[in-house]
């Protein structure tokens, strides 16, 4: 087998309305709805990283402890949206907080230099807003 790239990724949604608002309205993704009920886009850039992230590591990076908090759904996947700058991450975090989303970890710089903020999507997926200079070609 010779896997070339990630051809697609997306959440399995349980609440169409909440997911539509989160991805299309709050994150501002340009999503087509054709056929009706199937929100999708082929206009986002490719995946720069695919990784199996241990729950203990995700918890450590998000909460500073290896234990995922019992009061939160345990995520089944992680998804990071790369933004244009560290300032853009801060602004996006503020926009999502203002839209009523609970931010799990405010914008900060990870030990490896990535600026990140995290929250849970309506589906319980761990979503990161990030800027990592080495992922940018310019």
Question: Is residue 26 included in any domain, yes or no?
Answer: no
Residue 69 lies inside a defined structural domain of this protein: yes
| CA 93/CA 105 separation, integer angstroms | 10
Tell me, what CATH number does 81's domain have?
3.10.180.10
Count: domains in the chain: 1
**Residues 51-67: tens digit of each pLDDT:** 888 999 999 989 999 99
| Torsion (CA) 50, 120, 76, 132 in degrees, nearest 10 | 10
Distance CA 98, CA 48 (A): 29
Handedness of CA 19, 24, 29, 30 (dihedral sign): positive
Comparing 10 with 100, the larger pLDDT belongs to 100
Query: Is residue 30 one of the residues assigned to a domain?
Result: no
Let me know if residue 31 belongs to a domain: no
Average pLDDT over residues 22-39: 89
Residue 130 is assigned to a structural domain of this protein: yes
Query: Could you tell me if residue 44 is inside a domain?
Result: no
Residues of the domain holding 66: 53-135
pLDDT in tens, 66-112: 999 999 999 999 999 999 999 999 999 999 999 999 999 999 999 88
For the whole model, what pTM was predicted?
Answer: 0.86
């Amino acid at each position: 087998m010779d896997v070339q790239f990630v051809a697609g990724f997306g959440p399995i949604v349980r609440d169409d309305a909440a997911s539509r608002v989160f991805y299309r309205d709050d994150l501002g993704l340009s999503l087509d709805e054709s056929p009706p009920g199937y929100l999708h886009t082929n206009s986002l850039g490719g995946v720069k990283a695919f990784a199996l992230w241990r729950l203990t590591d995700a918890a450590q990076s998000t909460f500073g402890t290896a234990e995922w908090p019992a009061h939160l759904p345990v995520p089944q996947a992680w998804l990071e949206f790369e933004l244009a700058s560290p300032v853009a991450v801060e602004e996006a975090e503020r926009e999502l907080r203002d839209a009523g989303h609970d931010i799990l970890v405010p914008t900060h710089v990870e030990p490896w230099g990535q600026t990140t903020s995290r929250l849970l999507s309506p589906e319980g997926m761990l979503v990161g807003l990030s800027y990592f200079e080495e992922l940018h070609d310019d």
